[in-house]
Amino acid sequence: MILHDFLSFEALRLIWWGLMGMLFIGFALTDGFDMGVGALLPFVAKTDTERRLVIHSIAPVWEGNQVWFILGGGAIFAAWPPLYAVSFSGFYLAMFMILAALILRPVAIKYRSKRADPVWRERWDKALFVGSAAPALLFGVAVGNVLLGVPFRLTPDLMSIYEGGTLMKLLKLLRPFALLTGVVSVSMLVMHGAAWLSIKTDGPVKDRARRIGTLAGLVAAGGYALGGLVLAGFVDGYAYTGAVAHDGPSNPLYNEVVRQGSWLSAYAERPWIIVAPVMGFLGIAGAIMGLRAGRELTTFLCSKVAVTGIIASVGLTMFPFILPSNVDPNSSLTVWDASSSHLTLFVMLVGMAIFMPLILMYTAWVYKVLWGKVSEHDVNEHAEY
């Protein structure tokens, strides 16, 4: 218990905020290229053999990659229960659509080659495209809505209340800025998927992936820059009105919050966070140049840097806010008032310290074993995909 006493409540909240961001970045870096490859399938593969090549490039790893999504969801549930409760209450239909798409994708991978019928395979290829592109879009839309503020308020007993029916809640999420962030998300992951295909394939598939990935990178860079300009000029930020108890009770109504200024004022308060958007832009530039020049590993590493920077820039810009409310700013959830107890966070940290290295080592071993390009011989030898 000495370490428990040494790590303050404030420190544990900061650590778990950082770990939550790392888990989401890990999901985007791994399962993100799976989604990008699935979204590219109709455009880079013209024959059945080419489509099977594309699917074989992700078939052995997609299952392990989704572990990061499960870990992220579990971390929110245990470390940030108010965030889990409020977000699932308001985004229920959107969450259901994401989960349905994530279920559709592996079913398509497993079932498309069960029959040699071209119509059968074409339908499952379309399902794989939808199951990959839809989550990429919806995750980006969700991020845009978080930056804009979510229409919820908390009652004195901390029950979340949203206005309107379920369908109306979904339609309210499709705001122009949220759609812009959705486009950034899709184009970013398509670029990431193209970088993966440039490593795993050769021939026409690789050439098409390089061309489309270059275009996707340009769209991602332009959308990311435009999103920053919109945040600077048209979206109000959030701020505390007084002193904040960083080790205070987990009650969002304990502190007072107002909408004022811009989210980008965070860069004046904490100039060092500029490293995140710089990583985003430089990573995209490196990935584009790598795709054009045919530098496979460099392209993939630059794509990873871009994804990390773009996602990190959102969390660092919003800090300490996690889920702001645009109808009652005082109900906004932050790092300092939406966590589990001190003991819970500590016990979870011990578990994370034990199991995270094991997950990382196993993941590294899997990628080492499966490294190399997928060939037509591999496709013919493994007819299950």
In a domain, 209, yes or no: yes
The mean pLDDT of 74-102, rounded to a whole number, is: 87
In a domain, 193, yes or no: yes
Does residue 168 surpass a pLDDT of 90?
A: no
In a domain, 298, yes or no: yes
Q: For residue 120, what are its two tokens? A: 């059968």
The mean pLDDT of 20-47, rounded to a whole number, is: 93
In a domain, 246, yes or no: no
Q: Is 240:323 a contact under the CB 8 Å cutoff? A: no
- Span 232-241, pLDDT tens digits: 989 999 999 8
Distance CA 283, CA 286 (A): 5
The mean pLDDT of 328-338, rounded to a whole number, is: 93
Q: For residue 14, what are its two tokens? A: 């900061």
Burial class (CB in 10 A: 0-12, 13-18, 19+), 192: buried
DSSP state at residue 228: H
User: How close are the terminal C-alpha atoms of the chain, in Å?
Assistant: 51
In a domain, 217, yes or no: yes
Q: Is 213:33 a contact under the CB 8 Å cutoff? A: no
In a domain, 245, yes or no: no
Neighbours of 43 (CB within 10 A): 14
pLDDT at 181: 96
Q: For residue 278, what are its two tokens? A: 């710089």
Handedness of CA 75, 78, 79, 81 (dihedral sign): positive
- Span 343-374, pLDDT tens digits: 999 999 999 999 889 988 988 898 888 888 88
Cα separation values, 81 from 170, 243, 316, 335, 337, Å: 22, 24, 21, 12, 11
In a domain, 63, yes or no: yes
> CA neighbours within 13 Å on the CB side: how many for 89?
19
On average, the pLDDT of the chain sits at: 90
Distance CA 184, CA 197 (A): 20
Q: What distance lies between CA 376 and its chain's CA centroid?
A: 32
Q: In sequence order, what are the residues at sequence separation of 6 or more whose Cβ sits closer than 8 angstroms to the Cβ of residue 63?
A: 106
- Count of domains observed in the chain: 1
The mean pLDDT of 30-55, rounded to a whole number, is: 93
Domain around 107: 2-240+251-381
Q: In sequence order, what are the residues at sequence separation of 6 or more whose Cβ sits closer than 8 angstroms to the Cβ of residue 32?
A: 136, 188, 189, 192, 193, 307
Does residue 383 surpass a pLDDT of 70?
A: no
- Span 100-126, pLDDT tens digits: 998 999 899 889 888 888 899 999 999
